[in-house]
Amino acid sequence: MGTPQAPPFVVVRNVTKSFGGAQALKGVSLDIVPGEVHGLVGANGAGKSTLIRILAGLVYPDGGTVAIDGKSTVIDTPHHATELGMNFIHQELAFVPGMTVLQNIMLGIPKRTRFGLVDWKAMAREVAPIAERVGITAPLGASVKGLSTAENWLINICRALVRKARLIVMDEPTASLSASESEKLFAIVRDLSASGVAVLYVSHRLDEILDLCHRVTVFRDGESVKELAGETLTRPALVEAIVGGHPPSGAPVRHAGSNGKVVLSVDGIARPPRVRGVSFDLHEGEVLGLGGLVGAGRTELVRLIYGADRADGGRITLDGKPFAPRSPRAAVRAGFGLVPEERRTEGLVLPKSIAFNVGLANLDKLVVSPLLRLISPRARANLALEAIRALAIKAQGIETPVGRLSGGNQQKVVIGRWLQRAPRVLILDEPTRGVDVGARAEIHRLIRDLAATGQAILVVSSEPDELPDVCDRVLVMAEGRIVKELSGPAVTRGAIVAASYAEGPNPPEERP
C-alpha cells in the first residue's frame, strides 16, 4: 500500500464548479497516492460525481487546480484522462453488446499486424494474463451479452489495467452485486492496491468503506469537509462528517396530518429486487416523505403505485376502495397525480408551450363540444394563466416553450398541471432537484399550503435537508424496504441520514 511519503499521483486543490445558478463544488481538495484505496463519501448532491466528471475530462472546473504527477493539468477529454492513467468504472457499464470480451477490452486500442489488419492473437496474448489476474472466467472470445454484472466489472477492471491505469475510479461498485460477488471485487481491489494502482472508491455503504479504504475524504454540500484515516476512520466519525453539525434549514411547521382520514393505503407492494414489500398509509392533509439513498427503491415504489410499472404483489386501496394500478392513465382517472423525477425527459414536452404542457393532464376539462371533442383555446389559456399566477411562474407568456424556462419554472409547470385537477394523492418525486434556492422555498411553501387544504402528498427526496422542511412524517427506505419511520419532531436531517446508513445496508440475497 502507498505510504503518505510517496509523491501523490493526483492532487486536487480548491476546485470549484457551478452549473447555471447551482454551485456544485464550492472548493474541494483531495490527493491520491499510488497504491492507496481512497474512499469518497457524502450525501447525494454533495459533489462526488461532479469531481469525478472533472477528473474524467467531461466537465471543466471553474477554479482551483488539478495536478497529475505534480504537474498542473487541464484534463480536456475522456481520452486525455485515459492517457494520464485514469480509468473510470460507472454503475451503468458501457459495453458494445454484440462484441466479444476481448473486443470490448481492446476497444479503441487495437493492435495491428504489419498488413494493417487487427492482430487478434497478439491482443489475446496481452490480455490473457491480466484477465486471469482479475478472475474473468468467461472465455475472451465469448460475447459480453448475458454476462453478469459482476463479470462486467471484472472486464472493466481488466480494460483499465490493459490501458496501464494508475488510478481506477469505481462509482458505487457493489450497488448491483451480490454479497459473494462483492467479496470477490474487494479481493481484486486489495490486489490492485498491493501492485501500486490507486483506487478511488465511491460508495454509500460505510461497511465497505471502513473495510477497504486506507483513507476517506468526506464531501458535504460541495466541500471536502473531512479526511479520515487510521484511527480516526470510524463509522460514527463518518456519519458525523456526512451529516454535518448544522441544523435543518427552515423552521418546519408540522400539521397533525396523521389525524386525518386515510386516503391511500399500500399493503405489501413489491417488485423485486428494487421494491421488496412496502406498506404504509397516507392521510388527508398529510405530507409523507420517502427518504433514503439513491437506489433504495423510492422512485420505483411510487412508479408502482402510479401504474407506470407493474407490481408483482401487494394491494392498494384509495379512499377505502381497492385500486389496481394498470397504467398511469388509470391512476390519473382514479385520482393520482405524479411529478416525475426527471422533468425534462418524463415531465414535459419541451418544445411545446406552457399552456400545452399544463393542459395535458386536464384535457377532459377543456373539451367544449363532446361530439367533436373540440377544446377551447381560451379555457386552456385560462388554465395556464391560473397556474402561472398560483405558482409565480416566471415566463413571457403562456405560449413560451417550456424548454426555454429555468429548471425551477419548468418544475412549477409540471406541478401546475396537477393543481387544477386536485388529485386525491399528489406524488412529487425529487420536487426541487436542480432548482434554485428561491424556487425551492416557493415549492416547499406550496406543498405545505396544499396539505393545509387537505391534499394528501407523497414526497420523494434524496436530499436529507428537504424532507424535514416539508414533511409531517418520513419513511426511510433501504434495499427496497422501509427501515425506519420518523414522525413529528423526530423528522430531522440527522435521523434520516443515520437511518439511511443504519446497520449497513443488507447485502442483497445471492442471485443466480
Partner 1 sequence: MSDITIGSRHLSPGAKAALGVFARYGTIIGLLAMILAFSLLSPRAFPTVSNFTNVLNQASLAMIIAGGLTLAVTVGELDLSIGFAASLHGILVTGLIVHDKLPIPLAIVIVVALGAVIGLINGFIVTKMRVNSVIATLGVGTIITGCAFAYSAGVPIVSGVPEAFLQLSLGRWLFGIPNNIVIMALVLGGLWVLVERTDIGQQIQAVGGNAAAARLAGINVDRIKTLGFVISGMCAALTGILLASRLGSGTTSAADSYLLTAFAAVFLGSATLRDGEFHILGTLVGALIIAFGFNGLNIFGAPTFSQYIFQGAILIVAVGLSSLGRVLAES
Question: Footprint of partner 1 on this chain (CB under 8 A)?
Answer: 306, 308, 327-329, 331-333, 338, 340, 345-352, 356, 359-361, 363-364, 366-367, 372-375, 377, 401, 403, 417
Least CB distance from residue 349 to partner 1, whole Å? 4
Which residue, 47 or 340, has its beta carbon nearer to partner 1? 340
Which residue, 76 or 449, has its beta carbon nearer to partner 1? 76
Least CB distance from residue 66 to partner 1, whole Å? 24
3-state secondary structure of 21: coil
Half-sphere exposure (CA, 13 Å, Cβ side) for 13?
9
3-state secondary structure of 231: helix
Give the H/E segment covering residue 28: strand 22-32
Which residue, 139 or 403, has its beta carbon nearer to partner 1? 403
Least CB distance from residue 340 to partner 1, whole Å? 5
Which DSSP state fits 8? P
On whether the CB atoms of residues 214 and 229 are closer than 8 A, the answer is: yes
Q: Angle 235-243/493-501 helices, nearest 10 degrees?
A: 140
Which DSSP state fits 124? H
Least CB distance from residue 192 to partner 1, whole Å? 37
On whether the CB atoms of residues 250 and 469 are closer than 8 A, the answer is: yes
Which residue, 22 or 142, has its beta carbon nearer to partner 1? 22
Least CB distance from residue 299 to partner 1, whole Å? 12
Which residue, 418 or 501, has its beta carbon nearer to partner 1? 418
Least CB distance from residue 350 to partner 1, whole Å? 7
Which residue, 222 or 423, has its beta carbon nearer to partner 1? 423
Q: Which residues, in sequence order, are bridge partners of residue 280?
A: 266
Q: If we measure between CA atoms, which residue out of 416, 398, 405 comes closest to residue 360?
A: 416
Give the H/E segment covering residue 359: helix 354-359
Q: How far is the C-alpha of 433 from the C-alpha of 22, rounded, in Å?
A: 11
Which residue, 361 or 381, has its beta carbon nearer to partner 1? 361
Which residue, 281 or 346, has its beta carbon nearer to partner 1? 346
Q: How far is the C-alpha of 161 from the C-alpha of 131, rounded, in Å?
A: 9
Q: How far is the C-alpha of 366 from the C-alpha of 383, rounded, in Å?
A: 9
10 Å Cβ neighbour count for 251?
Answer: 7
Least CB distance from residue 471 to partner 1, whole Å? 23
Least CB distance from residue 448 to partner 1, whole Å? 24
End-to-end CA distance of the chain: 34
Q: How far is the C-alpha of 201 from the C-alpha of 41, rounded, in Å?
A: 9
